[in-house]
Amino acid sequence: MAEDFRLYGDDFNQDAIEQWFREEAQYHNQFSGGRFEDHPKLYQVFDWYYALLPYFHPRPDMRVLDFGCAEGQALAHLPAERRTYSYVGVDASRSLLERAARVHPEGEYRLMPADGIIPAKDGEFDYVVVLGVLHHVPNVAHYLKELFRVLGPGGRLILREPSHAMGRIPGSHTTLPGLSPNERGIPAHYLQSQLKELGMRVLSLRPAYHGVVLQVLRHWQPRSDQAWRVLVSIDKVLSDATRWNDHYQRPQIWQKLAPTANYVVAAK
């Protein structure tokens, strides 16, 4: 597992962590009012069928943390009956949070500090939803511990993270087109082992976003909800059938015939 620590930055010193944090926050600050406002249909539909419909059932008296909430768009598309809970959004980008507070004033928003301590009390939340965020942080194990800390007993953690290197050489800070300065995937086995170490029960770990499905979507977008549902079903079949092919580095074409992300749901 020594390589995992190098890849996921859990041995970064405090200066390197803070530099990474600032670079990522600066990158995301550019997008206030635009990039995140229109939550891509792909994420809306996949988040819904893979994770939210089966595992996200907050009652009105429950508290939900949307960690790395950006403009609050990911949960804003839920049917109204699923949006009756108290919502807290935390993000490292001040401008995205300002925008979130304007667009979704019913929520409460808190800025994530560079010291990596989530501004929340122990056990404050019944659900912690983290969609596409941990691959932007250097010290993933530390963040998982923090997310665990703020989750109450019996609470659920819902994660979506890409699983592959995204073309980045480990340790390199070269910015690649379309990516933030530091982002890189987190393999399922790493997430699973860290959650188990925290004493969490993994309820579901599903590979998703198959490379072939993503290629198809570059040229064709489903027009109806039914067509999206069919696409998710195809993605589930392809991703399950090729989960053995989930390599971190994918230089060969055959290695791209694999899922590119995972949904993980765990209970405290």
Ligand X SMILES: C[S@@+](CC[C@H](N)C(=O)[O-])C[C@H]1O[C@@H](n2cnc3c(N)ncnc32)[C@H](O)[C@@H]1O
- Tell whether residue 259 is a contact of ligand X (CB under 6 A): no
Q: Least distance from C-beta 142 to ligand X, angstroms?
A: 10
Q: Least distance from C-beta 97 to ligand X, angstroms?
A: 9
Q: Which is closer to ligand X, CB of 83 or CB of 245?
A: 83
Q: Least distance from C-beta 51 to ligand X, angstroms?
A: 11
Number of Cβ within a 10 Å radius of residue 99: 22
Binding mask 135-174 for ligand X (x = CB under 6 A): -xx-------------------------------------
d(CA 137, CA 142): 10
d(CA 164, CA 261): 8
Contact 1, 7 (CB under 8 A): no
Give 65-110 as a 3 state SS string.
EEECCCCCHHHHCCCHHHCCCEEEEEECCHHHHHHHHHHCCCCEEE
Which range in 36-44, 54-62, 145-153, 247-255 contacts ligand X by CB under 6 A?
36-44
- 138: amino acid identity, one letter: P
The dihedrals phi and psi of 171, each to the nearest 5 degrees, come to 90, -15
Number of residues that bind ligand X (CB under 6 A): 22
Contact 139, 116 (CB under 8 A): yes
Q: What angle do CA 97, 101, 104 make, to 5 degrees?
A: 125
- Tell whether residue 131 is a contact of ligand X (CB under 6 A): yes
Give the N- to C-terminal CA distance of the chain in Å, as an integer.
Answer: 24
Q: Least distance from C-beta 176 to ligand X, angstroms?
A: 15
Q: Which residues pair with 67 in a beta bridge?
A: 90
Subset of residues 46 to 105 that bind ligand X, contact rule: CB under 6 A: 68-70, 73-74, 90-93, 96
Q: Least distance from C-beta 67 to ligand X, angstroms?
A: 6
SS3 123: coil
Q: Which is closer to ligand X, CB of 36 or CB of 248?
A: 36
Q: Which is closer to ligand X, CB of 133 or CB of 258?
A: 133
Q: Least distance from C-beta 169 to ligand X, angstroms?
A: 21
Token representation of residue 54: 């089966």
Token representation of residue 196: 């188990």
Number of Cβ within a 10 Å radius of residue 42: 18
Q: Least distance from C-beta 149 to ligand X, angstroms?
A: 14
Q: Which is closer to ligand X, CB of 4 or CB of 18?
A: 18
Which range in 99-107, 129-137, 168-176, 193-201 contacts ligand X by CB under 6 A?
129-137
- Which of 7, 9, 10, 21 touches ligand X by CB under 6 A? 21
- In the complex, the residues that contact ligand X under the rule CB under 6 A are 21, 24, 28, 36, 39, 43, 68-70, 73-74, 90-93, 96, 112, 131-133, 136-137
